[in-house]
A and B are shown apart, each in its own frame.
Chain A
Amino acid sequence: MTKILLIAIVIMIFIVIFQISKASEYVSILKGEEKARKQNNRINAFLLVVFLVLGLIGCWWCNNLYYGKTLFVQGAASEMGEKIDLMLYITIAVTGVVFFVTQVLLFWFSFKYQEKDDRKAYYFPHNTKLELLWTTVPAIFLTVLVVFGLKYWFKMTGEAPQNSIVIEVTGHQFGWEFRYPGPDKILGKKDYRLTKGANSLGVDFNDPASLDDMHVPATVHIPVGRPVKFVINAQDVIHDVGLSHFRMKMDAVPGIPTTLWFTPLYTTEEMKARTGNPNFVYEISCDQMCGKGHFSMRGVIVVDTQEEYLKYLATLEPEYWTIFPDKKPGAPKPAITDTTKSKASLAAIMPAGN
């Protein structure tokens, strides 16, 4: 019933607006079309300048409402991120001035030079000096922004520092997996054809480097103040490691590994205090459309102090042991029947020929 009522009201509003508009056309004919046109002209010129004023107040108001919710307030959580924020501020300032000046001129000119009986339009087809002026001035400003931008771009996309902690990130529909290289600091080889059963990342356990690698899903711990390098893979479709707090982002592409690096400045606990939000958490958002669960592809980064981080690492077991529990040192020697079974399961995930 309410549905029908609502539809009826909407239709009524339509009809009323239409009838008024139709009537205004007849009125204008009665009044004299030229006179009605001039009146419309004055009204719309006035509305344009009202729009300008209210619009600028609206911009200011919108900023008051939402600036506090942007990431500027809590500051960037990585070293490069702070530079990016500075660059954002500079760009906002430059474009903000241009925005203000051009919009004011646009609407003010529209109002000021509205049609008047005693005015004649000024014939002014071109002026080379003026045109050169507004070719060169934007060019100079843009050069400055480009130089700034490229300096940071090369720094962000350049080689990660030597002392970086390397962690592998793998995206799949719809979640994130992480792999630490273990004490040897080398990530073992992978082959996507080995992705079966418990070996969900397709690790090649014939590579000795893979034996101490540790696999954790969804949440990754990193230490504060040390550069971290993510080596990024995807298993099925393109995903994207979005780290808005660190101002970093990189696609995860099947078949083409990518990397990103950053240096976290604050631990998760410190950020809780900085933001005043006890639930604060560094989130990894998937920023590349990846299917129906795209919006739920959430990962978490926990930034620890160095001690907490080492304590955390000590709790992890190599993935090799979780997939093959019998290989764990101190594990009970399996009975003969068990060995064949584990060999069979091993054969299932080892490349042929072993």
Chain B
Amino acid sequence: MSNTATVHEAEVHGVHDAHHEHHHHETFISKYVFSQDHKMIARQFLITGMIWAIIGGLFSVLFRLQLGYPNTTFPWLEDLLGHWAKGGKLQPEFYYALVTMHGTILVFFVLTAGLSGTFANFLIPLQIGARDMASPMLNMLSYWFFFLASIIMFSSLFVQTGPASGGWTIYPPLSALGDASSGSKIGMDLWLASMAMFVVSSLLGGLNYITTILNMRTKGMSMTRMPLTIWALFFTAVLGVLSFPVLLSGAILLLFDRNLGTSFFLSDIVVNGKILPNEGGSAILFQHLFWFLGHPEVYIILLPAMGMSSEIISVNSRKPIFGYMAMVGSLFAIAILAFLVWAHHMFVTGLNPFLGAFFVLLTLLIAVPSAIKVFNWLTTLWRANIRFTPAMLFAIGFVSLFISGGLTGIFLGNSALDIHLHDTYFVVAHFHIVMGVASFMGMFAGVYHWFPKMYGRFLNNTLGYIHFWVTIIGAYLIFWPMHYEGLAGMPRRYYDFSAWESFKMFGGLNEFISFVSMIVFAAQLLFVFNFFYSIFKGRKVKDTNPWGANTLEWTTPIRPGHGNWVGEIPEVHRGAYDYGKDGREFIPQTEPVGENESHH
């Protein structure tokens, strides 16, 4: 165990202040609101993300009600949603608004800001041995821009014509023309404004993460000694910094088309009997701009989950992660390829087939680094000595879902098959499993694993186990059968299938899926309750290194103050994964290499 004894926060501050020149008084505002401590900012991101996750999840339950019970009216729905659900039945335009907001919220606000924002902020300084981010000020701004984006997006839920309802991909002309959809009126402007703030937030955050990782590693922490979490968060930040500005440009051009009469994405349009003067624009151009962000975005969501799962699997297997360099290399390969495959979302737009062929090739190439990662995780488990903490279960769940959802990507990346499966429930199943639930699994793994570091207490284990089992069983029950709906050609984003001879036979299955989704949602509320209860009443952490892990965050006091370490920042002498080496259960990174230590 680590040699640091239990140190209380007050003591930390005393020592910390004596050691450092930037002496500051902490008021309630500076400690909890406009905090510049990366750990507090991480918690702010996490809790904001959780609030969004509840809203986004609730939306999915509401529109699943319509899909599962298309012929039933729910009077209480009108009480809850007002004119969105006139007569107790969700109206089509608000069904689409809920679908759109569900996607937007989960992709951007929860799995980008909530996931990267939380763990990049929390883990980067702690795991590389830095007292804080390179620029704590920008870091704070990153959160507050996110908060601003959240406020704008949330307010769009309350405008008369409803929030954006053209899908989270906001393809023009639908999103450009208020005449085409009520959600494309003021709701869409708010969506774009919110997203502009969001991009600013993610750029401020991303630049900070990259700078911190490159410049502020402690003595001895060479790049190749960094934990895989840090590598994953590093590549995530690079992806975000390079791709989010492209979304911003697309959003600005769309705002121009909407409000200033330009024709970037509009041409030859007659809508509602009105002949529009716009000519020469290309609706497909927007899709290129959108997916140039949109595809890297998928990996922005997935990579942190991969990194954290790698770390947690290694720690709890009591074994080094198998093939550390291959794991870093495959992360790098995925990050590069993420930029070169965006048009595989556009195989049926009339894309030049020759160009399409390159996107097929590069897309399926991603399966190679993905396969390396899966086999390396499996080999890490082989002949291990596994402890099933809730975090470990979620990490295993992540691998299982990553396999299931990754394999269906091979279908969709192959353009000839994609023509048939494009925009069917097969796609819904694929991305919810591989990007949605898998990333949530990674995020939960991270929360259960690092909660003791965040709050000095443990989450309740039993609730954690219940949470895991309901979530993984529910996720498979919800999404696995959707593959069959997709293979029947059933299109996504349909409000009602009963008029379709080809798709109406899945009524019973849709009802089942909706029912399971409610139970899974309830299980998430159990987690939320566990989270807030444990912050105040959870079992206290008594040991600085409760998981017996090698990484630096466990050399800090149980509740580290601003500045993280009491006294000097420790020096690093080895990689992060010396578990089970030379018969020792674990060897912290801070321990110098012994004279008789074996080399591998």
Contact among A18, A120, A289 for B583, CB-based, below 8 A? A120
> Would you call B403 and A103 a contact (CB within 8 A)?
yes
Chain B residues in 8 Å Cβ range of A306: none
How many angstroms from the CA of A278 to the CA of B103 in the assembled complex?
39
Chain A residues in 8 Å Cβ range of B494: 294-295
Given contacts A192-B268, A280-B501, A281-B501, contact A139 B469 (CB under 8 A): no
Q: Which one of A177-185, A204-212, A235-243, A336-344 contacts B?
A: A235-243
> Would you call B268 and A55 a contact (CB within 8 A)?
no
> Would you call B364 and A145 a contact (CB within 8 A)?
yes
B555 to nearest A CB, angstroms?
22
How many angstroms from the CA of A206 to the CA of B318 in the assembled complex?
80
Contact among B357, B384, B497, B502 for A150, CB-based, below 8 A? B357
B213-230 contact mask (Cβ, 8 Å, vs A): 1 or 0: 000000000000000000
The answer to whether the Cβ of B131 comes within 8 Å of any Cβ in the partner chain is: no
Q: Scan residues 448-474 of chain B and give those whose CB is less than 8 A from a CB of chain A.
A: 460-463, 465-466, 469, 472-473
How many angstroms from the CA of A29 to the CA of B184 in the assembled complex?
57
> Would you call A291 and B174 a contact (CB within 8 A)?
yes
Contact among A21, A59, A95, A173 for B462, CB-based, below 8 A? A21
> Would you call B387 and A115 a contact (CB within 8 A)?
yes
> Would you call A125 and B411 a contact (CB within 8 A)?
no
Q: Scan residues 144-162 of chain A and give those whose CB is less than 8 A from a CB of chain B.
A: 145-146, 148-150, 152-154, 156-158
Chain B residues in 8 Å Cβ range of A285: 489, 491, 500, 502-503
B538 to nearest A CB, angstroms?
9
> Would you call A124 and B322 a contact (CB within 8 A)?
yes
How many angstroms from the CA of A73 to the CA of B317 in the assembled complex?
45
Chain A residues in 8 Å Cβ range of B416: 84, 87, 148-150, 152-153, 156
Q: Which one of A41-49, A218-226, A326-334 contacts B?
A: A41-49
> Would you call A173 and B180 a contact (CB within 8 A)?
yes
> Would you call B325 and A126 a contact (CB within 8 A)?
yes
A106-129 contact mask (Cβ, 8 Å, vs B): 1 or 0: 110110011110011111111100
> Would you call A286 and B491 a contact (CB within 8 A)?
yes
Contact among B267, B284, B600 for A125, CB-based, below 8 A? B600
How many angstroms from the CA of A44 to the CA of B267 in the assembled complex?
59
The answer to whether the Cβ of B381 comes within 8 Å of any Cβ in the partner chain is: yes
In this complex, the member of A14, A84, A134, A158 whose beta carbon has the largest number of chain B beta carbons within 10 angstroms is A134
> Would you call B368 and A142 a contact (CB within 8 A)?
yes
A contact residues, range: 35 or more
B24 to nearest A CB, angstroms?
38
The answer to whether the Cβ of A253 comes within 8 Å of any Cβ in the partner chain is: yes
Given contacts A126-B326, A279-B501, A287-B422, contact A116 B385 (CB under 8 A): yes
Chain B residues in 8 Å Cβ range of A256: 267, 282-284, 350
Given contacts A103-B403, A110-B396, A121-B384, contact A289 B414 (CB under 8 A): no
Given contacts A70-B484, A124-B322, A256-B284, contact A289 B96 (CB under 8 A): yes
Chain B residues in 8 Å Cβ range of A292: 91-93, 96, 165, 181-182
The answer to whether the Cβ of A304 comes within 8 Å of any Cβ in the partner chain is: no
The SS class assigned to the A binding surface is: helix
> Would you call B372 and A134 a contact (CB within 8 A)?
yes
User: CB-nearest residue of chain A relative to B582?
Assistant: A123
B162 to nearest A CB, angstroms?
10
A275 to nearest B CB, angstroms?
10
> Would you call A295 and B496 a contact (CB within 8 A)?
yes
Task: Point out residues on A near B: beta carbons under 8 Å.
Answer: 3, 10, 14, 17-18, 20-22, 24-25, 28, 37, 40-41, 44-45, 47-48, 51, 55, 58-59, 62-63, 66-67, 69-72, 81, 84, 87-88, 91, 94-95, 98-99, 102-103, 105-107, 109-110, 113-116, 119-127, 130-131, 134-135, 138-139, 142, 145-146, 148-150, 152-154, 156-158, 172-173, 192-193, 195-196, 202, 235-238, 240, 242, 244-245, 247-251, 253-256, 258-259, 277, 279-281, 283, 285-296, 298
Pairs A–B under 8 Å by Cβ, sample size 14: A21-B462, A87-B416, A88-B411, A106-B400, A106-B403, A110-B381, A121-B317, A125-B322, A146-B361, A153-B360, A236-B177, A242-B489, A287-B423, A292-B93
